[in-house]
Structure 1
Amino acid sequence: MNTQLSPASTSSLSTPHPMQPYWDLNLAAVQAEALDLALEWQLFEWLVQPANAAEVAAHLQLDPGNTGHWLELLWALQLLERDPGPMPRYWPTALARDYLCSTSSLNCGAAWRFRLRGLRQFAGQLGQQLRSGQPATPLPDPARSVEQWTAAARVQIAQEQQAVTCDVALRLLARIPEMASARQLLDLGGGPGYVALALAREYPQLRATVFDFAPTVTVAAQNIRQAGLEARVGVLGGDLAVDDIGQGYDLIWCSSVLHFVPDLAATLARIHAALRPGGVLVSAHAECPGDTRTAQRVLTYYLSMQMLGRRVSDQGELQEALHASGFRSVETLGEVAFAVAPVTVLVARRGER
């Protein structure tokens, strides 16, 4: 009798089965729920003083046995440390203390939960959108969208900027030769304004402007006042599709904004005109890549945006559009790690004349 072996049968016994990545999708739902509950119940803050499962259960009014299993999963996810013994005590790992404790300046726990809620809602509507072409719940009107973006700028986007984007922007712009001599910078679609603030601190000669919707820049203005940088960082409110964004900038930082503009060519032309001769645009936007490794993360995150008619350019498409808009040269810095999914960074330079 001939027995046909699966491809996995001919590999090492420790080699994961080809189906493992898709089984991992099932496991991720449980892992996300375990972390979501830890954040909701402020577990990491409470465990600043190490505690065992019985003590955690008493504090949170949970079942002691199941609490122990939950804590073990959080330990496996490298969010908790534990000491040896039959009744181990648990405490947050350095990662959890830095990024998931509300007392940390890098805390992005609320931002993580915000993304989880949005992705769960979209996943639940995916079949409906495929069948009808429309989301299960009505789209908000433009005013409501601005209100929601402004609310996110106060908390969730602010957290992501402070924990992720500011550091990425500082490291990226340090590689741009023109940055050292730049005097006027525009943070285009800057939300709460923390990127502009970080750059102003790093480059004392710099004056920065945060452009976003009028209600949103009130959030940025408050953050600027709290930082004591009103003399060098200002705000400009408006709609990028129709309103003036200013002129004479040496450098424009534009991150995850162009997905939302109705006319890409017209917007890029206005950005080009806002730069002084020799000025630089640094664009950080997700693209649909040609390789499955990157595409898996990008397309999963941006699928909801695509289904709402937002623009997620194919690889190389934005670079061509920048050339067509009059930029003298467009350099790609390739894939850069960002919150949730990677982006492609393009450095476009306006000609000297």
Structure 2
Amino acid sequence: MNRPVEALPHALQPYWDLSLAAVQAEALQLALAEDLFETLASPCTPEALAQMHAWQPEATRHWLTLLWSMQLLDRSRDAASEWHYASSEVARRYLTSSSALDCGDAWRFRLASLRDFGAGLANGLRGEKRPAPLANGERWAVAARGHLAREQAAVTAPAACELVAYRRATESAWRLLDLGGGPGLVAVALAKAFPYMHGVVFELPEAADVAAQHIAEAGLASRLEARGGDLVRDDIGTGYDLIWCSSVLHFVPELSACLAKLHAALKPGGELICVHAEIPEEPEAARRMLSYYLPLLWQGRRVTQAGELRQALLAQGFEVCEAQPIALPMAPATALVARRRTK
């Protein structure tokens, strides 16, 4: 008798998965609201946890099993074959309130904002309602104090340090421009990793005040400056050895003019590390990216097609040295390293 062929996923499975993801999101949101991952720093049975919080034991057991399947909990059996659940390494690192890298509130903010946007798709399509601009200084300052600071500390700053470590010696002196640096934690992390570095965080004035506070709290005011201004109208300085530019170009009105300004701000031989998402040509990769960046596109912001940013850099006289994918939690991006030619 022939063995049955392993069943392939149904063609409709990706769309049913969208519905399943809603249950998983609610399970995680509940875990964060109840500070579950902090509670489960030590293993606990579902029954003991339910008794502790006056929850239904059977429902608690099923909820914990789902979180285990999402790799947010680990579990093991004791001698009596009872399951004990504990927070996984990922949950302890990024989703516990006591962790310096806690992104729980940031995740909940993203979930709420994307749900709100999704619920308004029909109105937006008919032009009945458009979202408020994201680049407003006051709104950006609120983000810099909240979810953006958490995401920078946990994700962007470590990625920046890793990228820059390949291009700058720890013992060398150099000058940084952190363009559109938000809360300034990328510049703070780089200053800690490179003790001879000095630099500027350039941001909208309201957000620059937040960056200045973080710089002062880190004891780096003698080496880092937070400068408020408008990227299009105001001077950003010159003589930089390296410019870190992450997700800024989505918001500038004229891409070529902005890149020309960055080119002029670099020393000859200086480098621009440009970290932005572009729309891939492959559908699955494009799906993940567009799910996050559709709100920007809906507002008329810029999200370039794959390869378009590289061509724009070349057109402004940059030499593109390297393109390296970066795995960011919400959507993947590419770090383009572009150098101002020495001649």
Q: TM-score, normalised by structure 2?
A: 0.92
Cross-structure match for 2:292 = 301
Q: Indicate yes or no: 2:45 matched with 1:55.
A: no
Match of 1:95 among 87, 90, 93: 90
| 8 A contact 2:106–2:147 mirrored in 1 | yes
Distance 1:290 1:11, change over 3 A: farther
Could you tell me which of 110, 120, 126 is aligned with 2:121?
126
Partner of 1:42: 35
Aligned to 1:319: 310
Q: How big is the shift at 1:58?
A: 3.6
How has the CA–CA distance of structure 1 residues 321 and 178 changed in structure 2, closer, same or farther, with 3 Å as cutoff? farther
Match of 1:163 among 129, 132, 154: 154
User: Which of these residues, 55, 60, 81, is aligned with residue 67 of structure 1?
Assistant: 60
Change (3 A) 1:180 1:294: farther
Asked if the contact 2:74/2:88 (under 8 Å) is kept, the reply is yes
SS of residue in 1 equivalent to 2:328: coil
Deviations along 1:16-57, one digit per CA (max 9) or x if unpaired, are: 333322222111110011001111111111222333223333
Give the partner amino acid of 2:339. R
CA contact (8 A) 2:72 2:88 kept: yes
Correspondence for 1:342 among 327, 332, 339: 332
For 1:11 and 1:312, locate their aligned partners in 2 and report how far apart those are by CA, in whole Å. Answer: 46
More helix by share: 1
In the other structure, the counterpart of 2:139 is: 148
- Cα distance per residue 1:149-180 (max 9 Å; x no partner): 11111121111111111111112122336887
Q: Residues 270-281 of structure 1 correspond to what in structure 2 (within 5 A)?
A: 270-281=261-272
Contact 2:170 2:195 in 1 (8 A): no
Q: CA deviation at 1:336?
A: 1.9
The 3-state SS of whatever aligns with 2:330 is coil
Report what 1:240 is aligned to.
231
CA positional deviation for 1:82 = 2.2
Which residue does the alignment assign to 1:109?
104
Secondary structure of 2:302 counterpart: coil
Identical pairs, percent: 50
- Match for residue 5 of structure 1? none
Quote the RMSD (CA, aligned, Å): 2.1
The whole-number CA distance in structure 1 between the counterparts of 2:324 and 2:143 is: 28
Q: Distance in 2 between matches of 1:12 and 1:169?
A: 47
Query: Could you tell which deviates more after superposition, 163-172 or 80-89?
Result: 80-89
User: 1:141: Cα distance to partner?
Assistant: 8.9
- Give unmatched runs, 5+ long, in structure 1: 1-9
Cα distance 1:195–1:317, how it changes in 2: closer, same or farther (>3 A)? same
Q: Deviations over 1:256-297 (max 9, x none)?
A: 110011121221111111112221111000001111232121
Q: Quick one: distance in 2 between partners of 1:229 and 1:134? A: 47
CA contact (8 A) 1:160 1:339 kept: no
> 1:76-91 alignment to 2 at 5 Å?
76-84=69-77, 87-91=82-86
Matched with 2:282 is 291
Match of 2:12 among 10, 13, 19: 19
CA contact (8 A) 1:184 1:206 kept: yes
TM-superposed CA distance for 1:134, in Å, is: 5.0
Relative distance call for 1:337 and 1:134 in structure 2 (3 A) is farther
Aligned residue type for 1:133: G
Which amino acid letter does the alignment assign opposite residue 12 of structure 2? M
Contact 1:247 1:274 in 2 (8 A): yes
Residue 325 of structure 2 contacts residue 334 of structure 2 at CA under 8 Å; is this kept in 1? yes
Tell whether the 8 Å contact from 2:133 to 2:299 is kept in structure 1 after alignment: no
Contact 2:171–2:194 (Cα < 8 Å) also in 1: yes
Q: Residue 234 of structure 1 aligns to a residue in which SS?
A: strand
Say whether the 8 Å CA contact 2:240–2:266 is kept in structure 1: yes
Gaps of 5+ in 2: none
Residue identity in the other structure for 1:82 = R
CA–CA distance in 2 between the matches of 1:241 and 1:176? 28
For residues 231 and 92 of structure 2, what CA distance do their matches in structure 1 show?
38
1:209-257: CA deviation from partner (whole Å, max 9, x where unpaired): 1111111111111111121111111111112122111111111000011
